[in-house]
Amino acid sequence: MRIFISGPSGVGKSSVIKEILKRKPDTVLSVSYTTRAPRPGEHDGTDYFFVSRDTFEEMIEKGSFLEWANVHGHLYGTSLAWVESREADGFNVLFDIDVQGVIQAKAQGSKGCFIFLVPPDMEELSRRLNGRGTEDTRQLALRLENARHELTYWTIYDYLVVNDSLEKTIEDVSTIMEAQGLLKEEVIRKLPWLSTIA
Ligand code: ADP
Ligand code: 5GP
């Protein structure tokens, strides 16, 4: 099962995903490739695969990405081989990708559940992004400006979750994932005997 989570920078995607992964041992995060530099505390292979622009462009040419996009001036992409190998091992895969990535994933027929995290309001989004203290003034302004545009894409998602209380958001995302796992398409994959009964 694939679970896509998007939302403007600073809304709380990483915070929510970190807790979901702790609670759901059958779920892994799709580790994306990026040309952005690691933030303090981020590790190569865990948060992202940090690569040069040349390496990223070679991967585009080879068709290695399920989707990729230029987000806030850096390149980000999802490795198709990486995702398929985790799925073959029986894991659910959670994607933290932007709106452009979701559009591509949908166009390629990726099935799954599409969740959009929304801030309580724009002032709170700005406070969170400032409070995180990981971006310089230029990146901060760019991310806030992009947020307004990204928020107009709420219509393409299945679920809108307002990240007001972090604990409630984690519960909501967890509930959505449990319901998704009970869809007949998901259940039947684990019950091959039932699909033989017409
Ligand atoms: P994103 O991954 O969407 O860019 P982060 O998870 O890094 O966002 O969160 C941005 C900042 O907001 C972090 O400092 C985080 O601790 C804080 N934060 C996340 N969710 C909440 C919340 N519900 N209430 C208050 N602060 C939050
Ligand atoms: P950050 O630099 O804050 O980690 O991420 C910036 C944005 O890039 C976020 O909106 C995040 O969802 C998006 N992103 C991260 N990885 C990918 C990816 O592989 N593909 C796409 N399209 N977006 C990504």
Q: What is the pLDDT of residues 50-108, one digit of tens each?
A: 999 999 999 999 999 999 999 989 999 999 999 999 999 999 999 999 999 999 999 99
Contacts of residue 15, defined as CB under 8 A and 6 or more positions apart, other chains included, come to: 166
Does the Cβ of 166 fall within 6 Å of ligand 1?
A: yes
144-161 per-position pLDDT tens digit = 999 999 999 999 999 999
With the most atoms of ligand 2 within 8 angstroms of its CB, the residue from 97, 100, 128, 138 to mutate is 97
Beta-carbon-side half-sphere exposure of residue 13 (alpha carbons within 13 Å): 20
pTM of the predicted structure, to 2 decimals: 0.94
Query: Domain 2-196's class?
Result: alpha beta
Task: Compute and round to an integer the Cα radius of gyration of the chain.
Answer: 17
Angle at 173 between CA 167 and CA 174, to 5 degrees: 85
> What order do you get walking across the sheet with 32-34 strand by strand?
48-50, 32-34, 74-79, 65-71
Q: Give how far Cα 133 sits from Cα of 102, 140, 159, Å.
A: 27, 9, 29
The band of 190, judged by pLDDT with boundaries at 50, 70 and 90, is confident
Does the Cβ of 6 fall within 6 Å of ligand 1?
A: no
Amino acid letter, 4: F
Q: Hunting for tokens 């690691």 — which residue is that?
A: 38
> What order do you get walking across the sheet with 92-96 strand by strand?
27-29, 92-96, 2-6, 113-118, 159-162
46-63 per-position pLDDT tens digit = 999 999 999 999 999 999
Does the Cβ of 69 fall within 6 Å of ligand 2?
A: yes
- The rounded Å distance from CA 13 to ligand 1 centre is 7
Domain extent listing, the chain: 2-196
